[in-house]
């Protein structure tokens, strides 16, 4: 795990990255690559598609998002009350709603576009940000809390003060 604090008035205020390998089997693609090369058997068993234990991944996400957020907020000496926008990995709407509720961040401060694209993996946070910029949503000085999670199981957060 690592975290850090940025320099200056705007930009990255704090970051956090974490991993919990005990959940590595919850979100996998069982075949492909050198460990289990493609074969008639692996193709017939659909082992080249993502397999997920959804309820366990949900529990992990809803638990880890507030934990990650707390770490970066503490590092920057801020609280959720200082957050102008919460931007999370757009995995599913239920995770977004549950995490925002646990963080006590009002829904109107949560940026959401999953209904437009579905779960687009690592591109979800950058796309939400790009759309917000296109719609001139941010103003200089806004505090953005960015939180992601994924396979492995991994988590990460950044706290950013928006500036131009």
Provide the CATH number for the domain around residue 20.
Answer: 3.40.47.10
Q: State the pTM of this model.
A: 0.86
Closest CA to 74 of 63, 66, 62, 84: 66
pLDDT at residue 72, rounded to an integer? 97
Please indicate, yes or no, if residue 37 is contained in any of the structural domains.
no
Quote the domain boundaries for residue 21.
2-26+53-161
Please indicate, yes or no, if residue 35 is contained in any of the structural domains.
no
**Residue with structure tokens 């397999």?**
51
Please indicate, yes or no, if residue 151 is contained in any of the structural domains.
yes
Token output for 25:
């089997």
Please indicate, yes or no, if residue 44 is contained in any of the structural domains.
no
- Residues 97 and 155: beta-carbon distance below 8 Å: no
Please indicate, yes or no, if residue 31 is contained in any of the structural domains.
no
- Residues 65 and 88: beta-carbon distance below 8 Å: yes
Domain count, the chain: 1
Confidence of residue 163 (pLDDT cuts 50, 70, 90): confident
pLDDT tens readout for residues 82-137: 999 999 999 999 999 999 999 999 999 999 999 999 998 889 999 999 999 999 99
Instruction: In whole angstroms, give the CA distance from residue 159 to residue 34.
Output: 38
Residue 44 burial (C-beta neighbours within 10 Å; 0-12, 13-18, 19+): exposed
Per-residue pLDDT at 13 exceeds 60: yes
Please indicate, yes or no, if residue 46 is contained in any of the structural domains.
no
Please indicate, yes or no, if residue 32 is contained in any of the structural domains.
no
Please indicate, yes or no, if residue 47 is contained in any of the structural domains.
no
């Amino acid at each position: 795990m690592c975290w850090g604090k940025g320099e200056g008035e705007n930009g990255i205020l704090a970051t956090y990255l974490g991993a919990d390998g005990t959940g590595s089997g919850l979100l996998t693609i069982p075949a492909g690559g050198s460990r289990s090369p493609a074969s008639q058997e692996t193709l017939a068993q659909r082992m080249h598609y993502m397999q997920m234990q959804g309820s366990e991944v949900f529990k992990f996400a809803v638990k880890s998002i507030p934990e990650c957020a707390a770490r970066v907020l503490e590092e920057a000496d801020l609280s959720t009350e200082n957050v102008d926008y919460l931007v999370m990995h757009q995995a599913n709407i239920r995770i977004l709603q549950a995490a925002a509720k646990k963080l006590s961040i009002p829904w109107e401060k949560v940026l959401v576009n999953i209904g437009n694209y579905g779960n687009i993996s690592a591109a979800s946070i950058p796309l939400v940000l790009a759309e917000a910029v296109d719609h001139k949503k941010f103003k200089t000085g806004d505090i953005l809390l960015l939180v992601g999670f994924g396979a492995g199981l991994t988590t990460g957060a950044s706290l950013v003060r928006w500036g131009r």
